[in-house]
């Protein structure tokens, strides 16, 4: 294995307020929940933690409030070994907050208020990416202002870093040039929204990925949950089957686990085929535990999990 490049995650930290229900509520419906608790959340911090636990050298650019939630996040960074040199503390805006409802069937719905994340600027991005070099990985999501995520992609691309864009929450990118993106990693619903289509559009994932490739990105990697992951590029499409589980406990953090693991594998210069299989395994492991960060495995845990799954 070649020497690893560093991983710079440009994204969110969101304190998560979590409640469990037997099923997800319908519009206008009130359900009695249980198990209310707060947890670390945000796609950026989730992906950073997963990447660090797998051995990645991770720096995180995010912005938090000058409040108790922000202070707790800084303690998390220190415990996990994530560099917080680019974590900004905003005196005027609160730490972002999300509300999560998890059902007994391992489904979830999420809403967020991005708070201090809205104040991430080009100056912050330029500073965090100043030392990025060819072979490093820059991992992005859309829980920060979309224009800042796309700007970070452009800066990273100019520096010849590997750009991984996880377009979640999904935005319409149908008029956006994505030629600065090496790996676009939507789920099947996000792929539709990125093309300006309704989430229920019947077009196949292969066709969706093909249309996204026409936007300029080099690889489209559609995560399909229990169906695995579909990789499409100029060489065609390949479906990677998932690691089978006896029972899924909670899928909330699986997508972020997938992206964190993909970033680690790419930073280690692994072939894309191997990188996707590794990311699939890490995502499956995350489904065996509750919440996000508490369910994320270390490298040794993933290896043991794969050995047991054979």
What digits encode the pLDDT tens for the residues 4-43?
A: 899 999 999 999 888 999 999 999 999 999 999 888 989 9
- 309: pLDDT strictly greater than 80: no
pLDDT of residue 48: 98
In the structure, what pLDDT confidence band is assigned to residue 126 with cuts at 50, 70 and 90? very high
Average confidence score pLDDT of the chain:
94
Of 229, 38, 86, the residue nearest 219 (C-alpha): 229
pLDDT of residue 112: 82
| Percent of the residues in the chain that have a pLDDT greater than 90, as a whole number | 84
pLDDT of residue 3: 54
Provide the total of helices (H) and of strands (E) in the chain, helices listed first. 9, 13
For 44, 180, 213, 247, the CA distances from 134, given in Å and listed in that order, are 22, 14, 23, 41
What the chain holds in terms of domains, given with CATH numbers, is 6-12+45-61+122-309 (3.40.1190.20)
Strands 34-41 and 57-65 turn out to be unpaired
- 310: pLDDT strictly greater than 80: no
The one catalytic residue in 90, 250, 256, 291 is 256
Which of 3-7, 221-225, 266-270 has the weakest average pLDDT?
3-7
Distance between CA atoms of residues 302 and 300, nearest Å: 5
Based on its alpha-carbon atoms, the radius of gyration of the chain, rounded to whole angstroms, reads 18
For 149-175, write each residue's pLDDT tens digit.
Answer: 999 999 999 999 999 999 999 999 999
Mean pLDDT of 286-292: 88
For residue 84, indicate whether it is catalytic.
no
């Amino acid at each position: 294995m070649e020497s690893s490049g560093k991983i710079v995650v440009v994204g969110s930290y969101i304190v998560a307020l979590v409640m469990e229900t037997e099923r997800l509520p319908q519009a206008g419906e009130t359900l009695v929940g249980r198990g209310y608790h707060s947890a670390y959340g945000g796609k950026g911090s989730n992906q950073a933690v997963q990447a660090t636990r797998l051995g990645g050298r991770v720096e995180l650019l995010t912005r938090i409030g000058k409040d108790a939630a922000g202070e707790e996040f800084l303690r998390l960074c220190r415990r996990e070994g994530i560099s917080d040199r680019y974590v900004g503390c905003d005196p005027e805006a609160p730490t972002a907050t999300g509300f999560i409802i998890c059902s007994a069937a391992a489904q979830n719905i999420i809403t967020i208020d991005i708070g201090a994340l809205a104040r991430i600027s080009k100056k912050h991005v330029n500073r965090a990416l100043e030392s990025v070099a060819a072979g490093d990985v820059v991992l992005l999501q859309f829980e920060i202002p979309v224009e800042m995520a796309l700007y970070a992609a452009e800066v990273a691309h100019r520096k010849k870093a590997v750009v991984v864009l996880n377009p979640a929450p999904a935005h319409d990118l149908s008029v956006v040039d994505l030629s600065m993106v090496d790996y676009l990693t939507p789920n099947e619903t996000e792929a539709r929204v990125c093309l300006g289509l309704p989430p229920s559009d019947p077009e196949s994932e292969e066709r969706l990925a093909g249309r996204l490739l026409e936007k300029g990105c080099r690889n489209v990697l559609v995560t399909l949950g229990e169906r695995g992951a579909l990789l499409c590029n100029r060489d065609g499409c390949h479906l990677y089957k998932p690691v089978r589980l006896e029972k899924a406990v909670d899928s909330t953090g699986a997508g972020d686990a997938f992206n964190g693991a993909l970033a680690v594998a790419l930073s280690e210069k692994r072939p894309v085929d191997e990188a996707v299989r590794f990311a699939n395994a890490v995502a499956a492991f995350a489904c065996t535990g509750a919440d996000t960060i508490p369910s994320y495995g270390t490298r040794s845990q993933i290896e043991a999990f794969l050995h047991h799954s054979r």
